[in-house]
Amino acid sequence: MRKLVYYIASTLDGFIAGPDGSDPTGPGGFWPIPEDYLAHIIAEYPETLPAPARAALSVTGESKRFDTVIEGRRTYEIGLKADITDAYPHLRHLVVTRTLSESPDPAVELVPGDPVAKVRELKGETGGTAGDGGAAGGPKDIWLIGGGELAGALYGEIDELIIKLSPLTAGNGIPLFSPGAAFDPRRWELTDHTVLKSGAAFLTYARATGA
């Protein structure tokens, strides 16, 4: 069964964005992107780069890990404000929303109902999906991009965490999981790690057995 993977950048103090929720790596953002950090993403997670970045960096390789991306409406709107209606046309793209009634892009699927039910449906898929994951190797994993509110709603469905830990503190902002998430302590096992010279670390955790 395919897994739901929360692949997300975090500060040392556990924030994924500033208090206003805007893109911290965009113009005027506070989150620097070191060269070795970007190079590692291109090498290991090329499909997680948005289409404009892939074009600028001449990234054309197929998806290695994910063929589906799911995000919340606020995260999706970061792209919309930049006139990008589908930042991930190379993936099946779903947006969980209670307010959008019509998708701004025909390739972007709106999820107006329970995100837990939708994720369970996605996990159970056995055929190929849209994007370059293709049917030949079967479906790849599902990338939960954020934000914190959706991650909180899907907390119990997350099978793996890939934290891109930045040597940065924010003091305040949008946390990994929204304060509305249920109190439900879980154990995680470190299965992989890469520490870069710039100080960033890619930490992969699998949900511990029975957790």
Q: What is the mean pLDDT of each run of 10 residues along the chain (211 residues)?
A: 96 96 90 97 96 95 94 95 96 96 97 96 77 59 96 97 98 94 94 98 94 65
The backbone torsions φ and ψ at residue 66, rounded to the nearest 5 degrees and listed phi first, read -120, 145
> What fold characterizes domain 29-197?
Dihydrofolate Reductase, subunit A (3.40.430)
pLDDT of residue 127: 66
Per-domain residue ranges for the chain?
A: 29-197
Burial 168-204 (b: 16+ CB within 10 A, else e): bebeebbbbbbeebeeeeeeeeeeeeeeeebebbbbb
All residues at 6 or more sequence positions from 2 whose CB lies less than 8 Å from its CB, including other chains: 122, 123, 125, 139, 140, 141, 142
Which strand (E) or helix (H) includes residue 54?
helix 51-56
pLDDT of residue 135: 41
pLDDT of residue 152: 96
pLDDT of residue 138: 78
Q: What is the Cα–Cα distance from 203 to 128, expressed in whole angstroms?
A: 28
